[in-house]
Amino acid sequence: HCRLFASAVDNGDAPSPVEPSDGASVVDVNPPRGTRDFPPEEMRLRTWLFDQFREVSRVMAFEEVDFPVLESEALFIRKAGEEITQQLYNFEDKGGRRVVLRPEITPSLARLVIKQGKSVSLPLKWFTIGQCWRYERMTRGRRREHYQWNMDIFGMPKVRAESELLQAIVLLFERLGITFSDVGIRVSSRKVLQAVLNMYSIPEHLFTEVCVIVDKLGKLTREEIEKELISTGLPAKAVQGIIEVLSLKSLPKLEEVLGSDVEAVADLKKLFSFAEQYGYADWICFDASVVRGLAYYTGIVFEAFDRKGQLRAICGGGRYDKLLSTFGSEDIPACGFGFGDAVIVELLKEKGLLPDLSRQIDDIVFPLDEELEGPASAVASSLRKKGRSADLVEDKRLKWVFKHAERINASRLILVGKSEWERGMVRVKILSTREEFEVKASELQ
């Protein structure tokens, strides 16, 4: 489950390197195609957003985990034709190993759960924020890397897991000031599609491939979808049946078509009833067309979208009860989502919800001349040991220092001057009130 990062310093077409006077060419100062730098302002936004991810993970009682960005290619070889596996950033390392820059996080989570084996008590609730990669021809000028927040629960077979993950997503949106009139979360279950395929006695092995095709609903025309479904060998009747059921947006209607005893209906009814109790029912809606594009989903799936329909999915996820057995291990029921930081930033910009993240420093320490540079070190050091951020500035004119203080929103200017220092004092200027007074250097707080 994954989504894209929008803002930061985009790496469009790299301008040609600057030609210095001596003719040698400067190295291309841009990062590799499809990747981004995070200069301070962009980094403050990213850090703020990741802090929101972390705070929601904390209140949901999830533990943080992490993995190498580099993984064995074997973890991502799947035959279902997903876009994510067709764009692997893969290569052979110097030891002849087939490796990838991971395109998603879930397989790494599964690998670690298998590795931990019996030593982990279930259910386990893990989260991580990690960079993911794809190698896409730059024709579409899209990024090759982005960050995503993943929350996953292993060992919780009932829809409690999905309802917990949906609360995490809603808590995140609410922390950012986004409301359910801005964003909705479409919820369905792959068991809906499974039930339809069973109605037409379609062989099990086509299920995953059909899911990956149907996930293109909304990106391809209905005719293109029908054509791709027919090409898998599905009879026309089954294709019609699938398209009809997947266009349902009412759970009672689904119950009419599939019957009440179908697992998909029971799961979804339970989830929507939990949603009332959690208090996020306004955020979610049933939409049978949601299948998500990853092969390993087996049950409930969901994705958040902007109600204006201008952006790509904000986040998405679902249940994947059979992923571990594809790695040769015993299955453990699992459920998770990926939340990228690209679309969400586009949405925050569009809603005017980006926070003010200008730089803020407590103190600027400035020696008024060279022989005071030593004492200024002592003053800055003692402030820092008390937890105050102190920017030690020297070799500048006072006029520049005042400008700098404004630029970095410093609270105080601590001037270390000869006559004051000889009396054990420093001069303090409160920059908001322009108030100015002397303080004993040893008592400066």
Ligand X SMILES: Nc1ccc(Br)nc1
**Residues of the shown chain interacting with ligand X in the complex, contacts defined by CB under 6 A:** 2, 4, 84, 103-104, 132-134, 143-146
Measured from the CB of residue 173, what is the shortest distance to ligand X in angstroms?
Answer: 21
CB closer to ligand X, 4 vs 405: 4
- The structure tokens listed for 353 are 């919800």
Measured from the CB of residue 293, what is the shortest distance to ligand X in angstroms?
Answer: 10
CB closer to ligand X, 103 vs 241: 103
Measured from the CB of residue 146, what is the shortest distance to ligand X in angstroms?
Answer: 4
Measured from the CB of residue 403, what is the shortest distance to ligand X in angstroms?
Answer: 39
CB closer to ligand X, 132 vs 271: 132
Task: Report the alpha-carbon distance of residue 154 to residue 324 in Å, rounded.
Answer: 11
CB closer to ligand X, 85 vs 163: 85
Residue 100: which H helix or E strand, with range?
strand 98-101
Question: In degrees rounded to 5, what are phi and psi of residue 426?
Answer: -130, 160
CB closer to ligand X, 7 vs 189: 7
Place of tokens 């060419």: 25
Measured from the CB of residue 4, what is the shortest distance to ligand X in angstroms?
Answer: 5
CB closer to ligand X, 33 vs 253: 33
Measured from the CB of residue 148, what is the shortest distance to ligand X in angstroms?
Answer: 8
Task: Report the alpha-carbon distance of residue 109 to residue 127 in Å, rounded.
Answer: 9
Measured from the CB of residue 342, what is the shortest distance to ligand X in angstroms?
Answer: 8
CB closer to ligand X, 338 vs 375: 338
* Three-class secondary structure of residue 312 per DSSP: coil
Task: Report the alpha-carbon distance of residue 2 to residue 318 in Å, rounded.
Answer: 12
| Range 134-138, long-range pairs (CB < 8 A, 24+ positions) | 134/84, 134/87, 134/88, 134/89, 134/103, 135/87, 135/88, 135/89, 135/90, 136/34, 136/87, 138/33, 138/34
Burial 89-110 (b: 16+ CB within 10 A, else e): bbeeeeeeeebbbbbbbbbbbb
Residue among 194, 212, 205, 191 at smallest CA distance from 80: 212
